[in-house]
Amino acid sequence: MTLQLLNQTFTVCQLNHISDADLSVPFTFLARTDEEISLVCPVQSCPSSALNRQDGWRCLRIAGVLDFSLIGILARVADCLAKASVPLFAVSTYNTDYILFREQHEPAALDALKAAGYDILEE
């Protein structure tokens, strides 16, 4: 399986209002629950009004379009990273999954995934 390392660094943050998010920016993920509004976006696109933010996330995209009938794709990547002591934050879209991890874990994450047989493409 091929994973693509995106060349941006990301922020995970909480917002007060959905309108604070710029959804025109590629690789922007917005979620709203009954308790919070969360945004994942490139660092430079993080709204100054963010209530809380954590910068310094890198992101891998599972290459290609994943069929909804596939089982365990994200679980296998997560298990590989867990064994390498790399915490992750996952976001899923209609087409595929995105795995975010902190910048300081990048070498360990990439080494573990390569050792497990994943091909890593860098932008």
- Tens-digit pLDDT profile for residues 47-57: 999 999 999 99
Q: How far is CA 104 from its chain centroid?
A: 15
Overall pTM > 0.85: yes
List domains and CATH numbers for the chain: 2-122 (3.30.2130.10)
Q: What does the mean pLDDT of the chain come to?
A: 91
Q: Which residues contact 121 (CB under 8 A, 6 or more apart)?
A: 2, 3, 4, 5, 63
| pLDDT at res. 64 | 60
Query: Which pair of structure tokens corresponds to residue 89?
Result: 């934050």
Nearest 5°: CA angle at 27, between 19 and 108? 130
Task: Indicate whether 9 pLDDT > 60.
Answer: yes
pLDDT of residue 67: 56
What is the sign of the dihedral through the CA atoms of 43, 45, 49 and 50?
Answer: negative
pLDDT at 69 over 60: no
